[in-house]
Amino acid sequence: HLETLLGGGRVGIVGYGHIGRALAARLECLGIACLVSDPWLEPGTIGHAASLDEVLRCDVISLHPELTREQPWPSYHLLGERELSLLGPGCLLVNASRGPVVDNRALYRLLVRERAPDVVLDVWEGEPHIDTDLLQRVRLGTAHIAGYSLDGKLLATQMLVAAMANQLGVAWHDPGSAAGEPAAICLHAELEPATLLRHLLEQRYPIARDDAALRQVATGPGAEPGGFDRLRREYPPRRELLASRVVVTDPDAATLAMVRGLGCRIENNANPPGTD
């Protein structure tokens, strides 16, 4: 999917709150076009607004709405049988918002067909008792841990403390991150753009590890009833890509722009450690 996006493909964003806006900004830095569907947007607010149907025809669709059943625009089962039928074969659907935004049974019925889309789910209907049949059909499945990075937890804690201090009218000094700087990521600039980007993402977050862990506790020989919650409770420290230090061998302008577009800091090294 990276090759498609870097070659002129589009990302459809459903929900334009904090996360949706951050994703759109990051895509713009990478030169990837996007369309946005959010019924709460005032007409003319953004130039890339589109209907939900238009967004669902993009190459990659990422879901970010709040979960609500209230009118006038409920997001519960926002993607049902009809909406899911608009997904093209080979497109990618990502849901890291709330499980019930997608009708999981309708999604399963879609995925058992030939030429189905690729699906990545971090959130599920009925958590922690997820649909294991659906899990076996998705490309990647994780245990609602998209926001579980160490950096994210520390930032959320700082925001809570700052809000409490403001409410109580007391002074508070932000000590900065207690996590320390993560290990540098080493890359070769001669890689094709999509390959370089994939290596960068996988070095910071090997998502296949979390996918394998969920499948093991949900459907493997050692399946355990409380496995979903245990994975979340015992989740190991994970660092974010933002502000990571990246060591690049002989980077060209395009490589520099791509890495900086992801919010990373670049160091030029003709022979970075850990590479060959």
The catalytic residue positions are 98, 127, 144
Q: What angle do CA 140, 100, 228 make, to 5 degrees?
A: 50
Task: Report residue 229 as tokens.
Answer: 């919650």
What is each CA distance from 276 to 49, 184, 190, 199, in whole angstroms? 45, 16, 13, 14
Give residue 99's Cα distance to chain centre. Answer: 14
Task: Report residue 50 as tokens.
Answer: 């589109």
Phi, psi dihedrals of residue 21, rounded to the nearest 5°: -65, -40
Which amino acid makes up residue 154? L
User: Collapsing DSSP states into helix, strand and coil, what is residue 186?
Assistant: strand
N-terminal to C-terminal alpha carbon distance within the chain: 27
